[in-house]
């Protein structure tokens, strides 16, 4: 059983610079076809100041830390026993190329199902821009298979 005392554990704030090339690469990798994610003129014609971040892009930027699996190590969980559960986003403001986004994460819940055969870790992350404006809230559930 995962120690429930980890609920409320916060992880250090980290920042990521949002770059045009990374936005284009992510959009292409996810099958995006809207030209606002590739062509700066198309983005401006659509009312954006520059290239906007595609949906779910912030999740990949949140993983860009020295140890993206720190949460598992802290809880002594074998990486081979985890599955991706859910991922949710609540957007408050657009994110654009040139922004610097800060991420702050916390474990908000740990629970089990099927008599402990499956355990769930809920991690919530807030993302703020360089103006200290909340741009997104993200939630991720990690599933741990036991036994």
Overall average pLDDT of the 73-96 stretch: 95
Q: What is the tens place of the pLDDT at every residue in 16-45?
A: 999 999 999 999 999 999 999 999 999 999
Look at residue 147 and tell me whether its pLDDT is greater than 80: no
Overall average pLDDT of the 64-90 stretch: 91
Residue 49 CA to residue 43 CA, distance in Å, equals 7
What average pLDDT is seen over the chain? 95
Look at residue 63 and tell me whether its pLDDT is greater than 90: no
Which residues have a Cβ under 8 Å from the Cβ of 12 and sit 6 or more positions away?
none
Look at residue 7 and tell me whether its pLDDT is greater than 80: yes
Residue whose C-alpha is closest to residue 6's, from 77, 80, 59, 88: 77
Domains and CATH numbers, the chain: 4-18+52-145 (3.10.129.10)
Are 64 and 16 a contacting pair, CB within 8 Å? Answer: yes
**The pLDDT of residue 65:** 83
Are 57 and 23 a contacting pair, CB within 8 Å? Answer: yes
Confidence of residue 133 (pLDDT cuts 50, 70, 90): very high
Look at residue 73 and tell me whether its pLDDT is greater than 80: yes
**The pLDDT of residue 131:** 98
Confidence of residue 2 (pLDDT cuts 50, 70, 90): very high
Residue whose C-alpha is closest to residue 67's, from 22, 14, 16: 14
């Amino acid at each position: 059983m995962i120690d429930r005392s980890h609920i409320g554990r916060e992880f250090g704030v980290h920042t990521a610079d949002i770059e045009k090339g990374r936005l284009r690469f992510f959009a292409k990798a996810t099958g995006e076809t809207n030209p606002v994610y590739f062509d700066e003129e198309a983005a401006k014609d659509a009312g954006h100041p520059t290239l906007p971040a595609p949906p779910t892009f912030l999740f990949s930027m949140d993983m860009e830390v020295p140890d993206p699996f720190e949460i598992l190590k802290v809880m002594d969980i074998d990486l081979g026993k985890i599955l991706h559960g859910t991922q949710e986003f609540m957007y408050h403001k657009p994110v654009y190329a040139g922004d610097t986004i800060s991420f702050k994460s916390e474990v908000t819940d740990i629970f089990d199902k099927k008599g402990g055969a499956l355990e769930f870790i809920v991690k919530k992350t807030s993302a703020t821009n360089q103006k200290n404006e909340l741009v997104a809230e993200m939630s991720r559930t990690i599933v741990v298979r036991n036994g």
